[in-house]
Structure 1
Amino acid sequence: MTSGFESLSAQSGIALPPLLAQLLAEGRTRYGEDRADWQANWRDYTLNAHPVLSCVYDLEWIDAAQAQRIVAEWLNPRFQHGRAFLPFAVSGAGDAYCLMRAPQGAVEVGMIWHDRGESAMEAASFEQFVFSRLVESAHDFEHLLDDFSADEARACVLANLQAVVGFLPGAPGDALRALAAAVGPQDDDATSAVGADAAQRALAVFAPFSSPPFVVVPRWECG
């Protein structure tokens, strides 16, 4: 699976972040062995952080073939005023989570909206993106309550925090480990695994990031 994304990386000129390459190589972005396996076992897989970020709201990993189609049909430099993207996940509405090379060479991450005239990057790196999405999910898991009990939602968050710790060394890993230790029993109607203060302390591990919006040609205008 990694080789397909390496090819997209070469085509786009966007370096594949080591963390994403590792997750791909270890199969941590896969939804079971195949479609039938996922349909039969999706609850267990989700609760046990397979794939990682299974606790995150409205994010679905894609494979290299899907990413290639998105680039060919929509997020292609010839459609997007010369701007290149490398998609790695999508939302349920068809928006694309993408890597994008910043002018100074860093690889930033954000959602490219399929039906809006502009988008903006939301993280300075793939590592920051993964980290912040996990912390946000720990602070607000209400979206998981459509399919799971509050106890199961907390277990899903905890499984993801513990799974990603091994991929993020140093301060980010330590922060996730501390956040996981803060997850404990709560009321049945709770919608968070950790409080706002704990979440803010964790998010402070990375420097604040902001990015100016840029023009995006909507999907239906491309092709």
Structure 2
Amino acid sequence: MSASPRQLLAGLLPNLRDCGGLGTEDGRVLRSRCLLRSAALVGLPTATLTAFLDTVGTGTYFDLRTDAEIERDGSPGALIDAGWRWERVSIDDGNSGGGSAADIARRSIAAIPKYLAAAERVAASLGPRPVVVACAAGKDRTGMVTAITLHRLGIRRAQILEDFTLSNSCLREGRALLPARWQNPDHDIHPVDATVCAAVLDRLPATRAPRRRADISPLTFPAPLPGDSAASPDATVAAAARRR
């Protein structure tokens, strides 16, 4: 069962989510299949790859894993063969071992320049084709880069934090879909904490303020009318279509 209406292919992929449907501070809604986030899309069974391509299409895959992680787990060769563009933005933020929220916050704040550089590249790539951001499990580095990108798009802070912590339930329910090394019960998947994400957002440079309406209008549409369902990205797309 899906942990959220924004989660896609929950029975096939552990942490694939569409940011479509999230709302901006000025009352607009992020378009579906514009910005997505995921655990590493590598080693996919044929059926899973086919379902992913049928659901998402082709676009740009931002891979935040390090060289060592790619050597260990593999590259997204199947996606590349299917027409995806692979963009590598290696981030080592020191948080792979977990720790207390205070420790993770301290390391994450130190890594803000790395997150910002990746988020700027992601934001610049957003357009008519989907953009997927991924690391290993799709929660820490992916969560930070996605959160900063959403902040740049003017998404409401409460929704950014909710999206950040949604990885906890997605990975709890989808752990069996992660690579074999994650199946060891001694291999703890430490949860992400909204206070860590908030600490990073609070320390972003003022020059990284939300983008102007003219910059994000092609990526958004007006929020649903009263009575329209906004339970999923597809529902918000349908609501916008009824107004045209």
TM-score (ref. length: structure 1): 0.31
Bigger relative CO (Cα 8 Å, ≥ 6 apart): 2
